[in-house]
Every structure is written in C-alpha cells, then in structure tokens.
Amino acid sequence: MALLNTNLKPVEGFSRLPKEKQIEYLSSLFDNPARVRRLIDLFSIQDTEFQKRFDEFSENTLASYPLPFGIAPNFNINGSIYHIPMVIEESSVVAAAANAAKFWLKRGGFHTRVISTVKKGQVHFISDAPPEQLKEFEEDLEYFLKLRLKPLTARMENRGGGLKKIKIVSSIDKIANYYQLDVDFDTVDSMGANFINSCLEEMATGLTEYFAQHLPGKNLEIIMSILSNYVPDCLVEAKLEAPVALLAGIHPEITPQDFVRKFAIAIEIARQNISRAVTHNKGIMNGVDAVVLATGNDFRAVEAGVHAYAARDGQYKSLSTIDLSEGMFYYSLTLPLSLGTVGGLTNLHPMAAFALELLGNPSAKELMQIAAAAGLANNFSAVRALTTWGIQKGHMMMHLSNILNTLAATESEKVLAREHFNGHKVSYSAVELFLKKIRSAGA
C-alpha cells in the first residue's frame, strides 16, 4: 500500500470534518483505500462507546494504536507482593523485569521510599522593579496570592495538598528585567498538571493586580505561566541489598565476588561516560515508562524530568549507584517521578484503571515506589546480562517471535523454530535459512 501522490496538498478544516469524512479523505490518498479502511476498522474498539471515549482523549482520532499490556509478577516491594502491569513494545523488557523480581524475591526484595513530593510551577515575568524592592513584598505577595487562589485550591487543600510556597526569583543577570514566581505545590494523588497550570494563570492575574496596587509606576509584563516538568523535589528511591555471597548462581562460571566487581565497574562507567550513561538510563526507563504508560500517566513529562535530573550537577550520569562495602551489595536508584493515581486518564482508560486495581489502587506515593522498583529491576537485569552472557542472547530469543511473524511462519513452524533456536544463535538470516530448510524439506 502506498500514497498515490507523495506531493500532498494542504487539507482545509480537517479537524472540523466528521470522523467518517476524515477516514474517507485519508483513504482516498492511497492506492488501496479499502485496506486503509480495513486497518482502521481492525484497530477500532468494537464497543463504540469506548472508542468514542478514546476519540475524545485527543483530536482527529481515527483508531486506537495497541501496545502489549503485560505483567511482571512477584515483585517484593517493602515486604508486599505486586504483579506489575507494564505497557511496552520492546520484547525483552517484561521478561527482564520479571526475571529480576524473581531473583530478588528470595533475597529481600526491593526497598523503596518516597523522599519528597514537591512539584513546581513558574510565572515568568519582566519588570523594571529592582530585586530588593520585589524581595520586600515577597511575603505579603504570597499571602495575597494564596488568599486570592482559595476558590481554586480549597478542594486540593481538603485532600491534604495545595499551594505551598511562593518565591520571587531574580534572573536579571541572565535576561534583562527577568523574574520568576517560583511556586511549590503538593498535588497529593493527582499528577496535578491542570491544577498547577490553572493556579499559575490565576496567580499571573493576581500579580498584575498586586503590582497596580503596591508598585505603582513599576511595569510588569507576564511572559508565561506553566508548571515545570523538572521535579527534583519529587523524589523516590529504590534499593536492592544483600550480602555478596547471596548473589551466587547468576552464572555457572562466575563467582558472586567476580560478578559484583564487574557489575560495579559497569556502574562506574555509566557515571563517568555520557555515551554509556544515556543507554544505562534508557534501560532504567524501560521499566519506569512501562509502568507509567500502563497506569495512564504522562511518560513524556517523566522522561524530560528524569534526564534533566541525571544532568543536575552539570554532567549527565547514571541514575543508579552501587556500594560494595563490608561484603554487601547495595544497589540503589533515585528518580524524580511526578505521577498520579486519580484524574487524567487514570480512571477514563479502562486498562489504566485495571492496572491501578491490580496494584491495589495505590496512592501516588506508592505508585512512585512501584515504578522505581520496576526501573531498578530492568537496570539490574540489563547490567547483569551485559557483564555476563551479553544482552543479545536474551534479546534475540525474545525477538524470535517478531522475526517469525515477519517471515509469516505458521504455528507449527514457530514450534520447530523455538526448539531449534533454544540451542542456536538467533539472527534474522539464521531464522530465514531455518524456515527455508524446513519448508523445502516439507515440500
């Protein structure tokens, strides 16, 4: 299937067309319009009420785009067992998480804690008022704005959160007359993006009024009001710890002492070398993002915040650290994670709601700890494989199904291939050759 003409002309008013007409228009661009329609039908939810709900999550929605929803069972987190839902397309991620969970189940499990839960937003403004004068008004302004925002914050305050602190930060040395209102929020169990942004826009109006009343003659220009996805004060920690001797059995030819020594060098490399650090952290985010997606949270916000945090002291580094003192293996991960378990998609997406039910309807703090444990599990599995048998053995074994499907293998060919490749190296050409052989033998 291909476009009839790759030189497309702009389309007017696409978002105003009813869905049926949008599909008709898009199909007409292809040499096989019936196939486009079949694809859209195939990936539209049969329950039209649900599909309508999905349509309304976004704009110009034509169909749904399924990703695998899997379970990494048997995570022992602080003594409780969780079967963790993960949404991810990469074949080996759920298996790697499940494998680490199983390994650590009998070795004390994952130890997690929330360090802090402050989220931040900013009103960026320009003013010719000098910083000392603005500082003088800071406390009074905080009182004024908190009072003004009561109608917006009352419900959140009833839930134990709300608007916490307002500071005026001068950055006049970087941009002429540039200041920010730096605002701390606690959004309890919601991710809180809409709450924070509504508060900030109201604060910007309040700031304008405050200037008119208290700083006549000083100019004020609001540039923008928006939350920050950098959340270094919304932190969670996950840890693994065991006497080194307990790590026996990872590889028949490797002693636990040798295993941890090499493992620790790998972590040090990811702290010193940016090329390795990014890939190392990507392995952590395999686990974190899969939980974030499964529970209907915003993975772009999480990704942006986590990577900025990894570079917080000027050099991008591994997010996990290791300590081998006193014959122990201490492995830990600290992450900024702003997650919600109420609001947003969490209740509207039936699979996200199910994922949260499976986790026992956790609070946002509990979900932060579960996601961090999944991140550390995937990181442990990846570094363990990299420093022992290599990553490709497991990856390619998991990828075998994708190759078999690409080569249109039948169910009985798949059974034969899985048996064969249990003892042979998987590659696209090796699988192709194997299928060729069994097909010609059968012909």
Residues acting as catalytic residues? 90, 282, 298, 395
Rounded to a whole number of angstroms, the minimum distance from the CB of residue 268 to ligand MEV is 14
Quick one: DSSP state of residue 246? G
Sites of contact with ligand MEV (CB under 6 A): 90, 279-280, 282-283, 286, 382-383, 386, 391
Quick one: DSSP state of residue 250? S
How many other C-beta atoms can be found within 10 angstroms of the C-beta atom of residue 192?
Answer: 24
CB contact at 8 A, 384 and 97:
no
Rounded to a whole number of angstroms, the minimum distance from the CB of residue 385 to ligand MEV is 7
Question: What helix, strand, coil percent values describe the chain, rounded to 5?
Answer: 50, 20, 30
Q: Given the complex with ligand MEV, which of 97 and 294 has the nearer CB atom? A: 97
Please provide residue 25's backbone torsions phi and psi, each rounded to the nearest 5 degrees: -60, -50
Please provide residue 349's backbone torsions phi and psi, each rounded to the nearest 5 degrees: -85, 115
What's the rounded Cα separation, in Å, for the pair 210 and 208? 5
Structure token pair of residue 283: 């392995």
Map residue 195 onto helix, strand or coil. helix
Quick one: DSSP state of residue 30? B
Rounded to a whole number of angstroms, the minimum distance from the CB of residue 422 to ligand MEV is 22
Q: Given the complex with ligand MEV, which of 228 and 381 has the nearer CB atom? A: 381
Nearest Cα to Cα of residue 200 among 187, 183, 188 = 183
Rounded to a whole number of angstroms, the minimum distance from the CB of residue 424 to ligand MEV is 22
Q: Given the complex with ligand MEV, which of 44 and 332 has the nearer CB atom? A: 332
Please provide residue 6's backbone torsions phi and psi, each rounded to the nearest 5 degrees: -75, -10
Q: HSE of 423 in the Cβ direction (CA atoms, 13 Å)?
A: 3
Structure token pair of residue 16: 């105003």
Q: HSE of 255 in the Cβ direction (CA atoms, 13 Å)?
A: 4
Rounded to a whole number of angstroms, the minimum distance from the CB of residue 251 to ligand MEV is 17
List the alpha helices (DSSP H) in 149-192: 150-158
Rounded to a whole number of angstroms, the minimum distance from the CB of residue 132 to ligand MEV is 50
Residues 32, 34, 39, 40: is their CA dihedral positive or negative? Answer: positive
Rounded to a whole number of angstroms, the minimum distance from the CB of residue 300 to ligand MEV is 18
Q: Given the complex with ligand MEV, which of 251 and 282 has the nearer CB atom? A: 282
Contacts of 355 (CB under 8 A, 6+ apart): 69, 85, 294, 295, 296
CB-nearest residue to ligand MEV: 283
Q: Given the complex with ligand MEV, which of 304 and 391 has the nearer CB atom? A: 391
Q: Given the complex with ligand MEV, which of 92 and 117 has the nearer CB atom? A: 92
Instruction: Dump the DSSP string for 372-425.
Output: HHHHHHHHHHHHHHHTTT-SHHHHHHHHHHHHHHHTT--HHHHHHHHHHHTSS-
Q: Given the complex with ligand MEV, which of 97 and 355 has the nearer CB atom? A: 97
CB contact at 8 A, 416 and 327:
no
